[in-house]
Amino acid sequence: METNEDHKMSLTEHLIELRKRLLRILIALGIGFGICYYYKDLVFDIITKPLTQVLPPNSHLVYIGVTEAFFVYMKLAFFASLLITSPVILYQIWKFISPGLLPKEKKYVIPFVLSSTFLFLGGVLFGYFIVLPPAFQFFVSFNNQYLQAMISFREYLSLFVTFLLGFGLSFELPVFIFFLTKLGLVNAKMLSHHRKYAILLIFIGAAILTPSPDALSQILMAIPLMFLYEVSIFVAKFAKKETNSENNEQ
DSSP letter at 213? Answer: -
| Coil vs helix vs strand at 235 | helix
**pTM above 0.85?**
no
Cβ atoms of 202 and 226 closer than 8 Å: yes
pLDDT of residue 2: 43
55 vs 73: CA distance, rounded Å = 21
| Alpha carbons 236 and 219: distance in angstroms, whole number | 25
pLDDT of residue 28: 97
The pLDDT tens digits of the residues spanning 137-194 come to: 888 888 888 888 888 999 999 889 988 988 898 899 999 999 889 888 899 999 999 9
pLDDT of 246 higher than 90:
no
Percent above pLDDT 90 for the chain: 44
At 212 the pLDDT is: 65
Q: At what angle do helices 215-249 and 195-209 cross, to 10 degrees?
A: 130
Distance CA 22, CA 241 (A): 34
pLDDT in tens, 92-123: 998 888 777 667 767 788 888 889 889 999 99
